[in-house]
Structures are given as structure tokens and as C-alpha cells.
Amino acid sequence: MDLRLDGLSVRIDGSEIVRSLSLDVPRGRVVGLVGPNGSGKSTALRCVYRALRPSAGAVRLDGDDIASLSLRQSARVVAALTQESGTDLDFTVEEVVALGRAPHLRGNQALGARERELCREAMERMDVAHLARRGVLGLSGGERQRVLVARALVQEPRVLVLDEPTNHLDVRHQIRLLSLLRGIGPTVLVVLHDLNLASAACDRLGVLSEGRLVASGTPEEVLTPGLVKNVFGVDAEIVPHPLTGDPQLLYTLDSPRH
């Protein structure tokens, strides 16, 4: 399913936080949204999972305005891992993952054999199967994050939006998660802070600065020393990854040891 942010603007308390943002996420592709703190990335994503209504423009799924779908209809299609995801209740890991099926079930309908298998597979993919009976409130930040990704996967979404999914994850689980995004099927829009991981994981990148899209294209097209300096205020050497050729940024601290 194609996802398109079509001239999206979001105004909150009189200030325009997202300004006429247009970005295409073609079916099955992984598009990364990057930008400095406060540039409007999470706000744009909130419009996709309908926690916010844009003040102008639209989020389109295969061309149709998402606002024309009921919340239940869009929950069957769009899964989100957000900064607010989680639960205050001490459900077990397997219960939280099973909640991902809720948009597909009627009333109190129980999970069938295929759905239980789906949950088991997602827990294995995210390396949380061994935690199935544990309460989520007792988990570490990274373990909880992996449970929430598993919950999003069992939703079998056609569009997956992730807001800083690598938060709390150790490097092995960061790589495992971002590797999974490629080729799992759904169209993916992901906010990432780590530009090197974004370069490796995303087919295309959109760069937000003060609510505006200031660049978009392949990582090679977008990640230039000039852009990184202009948008993030940082000097970076950019070198191709020796194995993959993906652009990788090398930074120098303001007070280097040498």
C-alpha cells in the first residue's frame, strides 16, 4: 500500500509545527524521516496513526484520505510504534503481543491457532519469546521496546510507522530490527536519529528542519556534508561503507583527544 503525506500542515497553539510536508512512501519501501530535535518528525507521524488531525493537507493510503476511514479500519491497516506506546498495566509479554490482533477481532473473540502462531513467530523475531510469561512492567527498556515491535508485527499492517524504534536497543537488537524492516512486506515510515543506521536501513530519506521538508532522496543524494552542516549544525566526514557503499558519517568531537 502506498503512503503519501500530501501537503501536511499541523498547527498547535498558533504555531505551525509541520509546514506543507509532502513525502511519498511507495509500497513496500522503507523511508526514513530525520531531522533535529523539535523539527516536527513525531508530529508528522502522529497524523499517520491518527493521534493528530492535520490542519491542512492529508495522509493518503493508495490515494485515499485516511480521514475517510473509520479508526477501526485504519487500525487494521496502519500499525505504529510510538514514543507513547506501552501500557501502565502489568500485562504479560504474550498478552501485550496478542493485543496487536485486536483490530482484526470481533468483540471478545479469542485468538485462533494461526493467530497464536503469528504471536509466537513475532516474539521469536524480536527475541522476546523467552519473556512470554513475564510482566511487561518488569522488563528493561530495550526488552519492552522489542515487545512493542512484536505487537506491531502481529497486527499484520500494510503500513508500519515507527518513531525512534531503536531507542533503548543495544547494537545487536538495533541491527536486527532495522534489518527486519527491509523485506517484511509493509510500507515503512521510520523516524531515526542515527544517520548511519538511517543510511543503511532506508531506501529513501526525508529531512525535516523547522517543520519543513528540506531534502529528500536516496541516502547518497541526501547525506552530504553541506546538508548535515546546514540542518544539524555539525561537521561530518562522509565516506562510503567499505562493504555496502552506503554513506556513513564520521564525526569529530569539539574537543578531540588527539
Ligand X SMILES: Nc1ncnc2c1ncn2[C@@H]1O[C@H](COP(=O)(O)OP(=O)(O)OP(=O)(O)O)[C@@H](O)[C@H]1O
CB of 30 to ligand X, least distance (A): 18
Determine if 17 is a binding residue for ligand X (CB under 6 A).
yes
Nearest to 191 by CA among 206, 210, 175, 213: 206
Does 41 help bind ligand X (rule: CB under 6 A)? yes
Q: Whole-number minimum distance, CB 86 to ligand X, in Å?
A: 16
Which of 5, 21, 35, 178 is close enough to bind ligand X by CB under 6 A? 35
Note whether 9 binds ligand X by CB under 6 A.
no
Q: Smaller CB distance to ligand X: residue 38 or 112?
A: 38
Given 7, 22, 27, 38, the residue binding ligand X (CB under 6 A):
38
Query: Is the CA virtual torsion 220, 223, 224, 227 positive or negative?
Result: positive
Q: Measured from the CB of residue 59, what is the shortest distance to ligand X in angstroms?
A: 15
Using CB atoms within 10 A of its CB, is residue 212 exposed (0-12), middle (13-18) or buried (19+)?
middle
State which of residues 30, 31, 42, 174 lies at the interface with ligand X (CB under 6 A): 42
When asked if residue 43 is in the footprint of ligand X (CB under 6 A), the reply is yes
Give every CB contact of residue 207 below 8 A, 6+ residues apart in sequence: 34, 35, 213, 214, 215, 216, 222, 227, 231
State the residue for C-alpha cell 545487536: 172
Q: In 19-161, which ranges are continuous DSSP H helix?
A: 41-48, 71-77, 93-99, 113-125, 141-154
Counting contacts by CB under 6 A, is residue 13 touching ligand X? yes
Quickly list H helices, the chain.
Answer: 41-48, 71-77, 93-99, 113-125, 141-154, 171-181, 195-201, 219-222, 225-227
39/187 with CB nearer ligand X: 39
Q: How many CA atoms lie within 13 A of 145 on its CB side?
A: 18
Residue selected from 32, 40, 157, 186 as contacting ligand X according to rule CB under 6 A:
40
* Secondary structure class of 59 (helix, strand, coil): strand
95 secondary structure, DSSP code: H
Report how many residues bind ligand X under the rule CB under 6 A. 11
Q: Does 51 bind ligand X (CB under 6 A)?
A: no
- Minimum Å gap between C-beta 18 and ligand X is 7
Beta bridge partners of 66: none
Nearer to ligand X, 94 or 163 (CB): 163
Fill in the per-residue mask, 117 to 156: x = in contact with ligand X (CB under 6 A), - = not in contact: ----------------------------------------
Decide if residue 12 touches ligand X (CB under 6 A).
yes
C-beta closer to ligand X: residue 15 or 70: 15
- Measured in residues, the chain has a length of 258
Under rule CB under 6 A, residue 205 binds ligand X: no
Binding site for ligand X (CB under 6 A): 12-13, 17, 35, 37-43
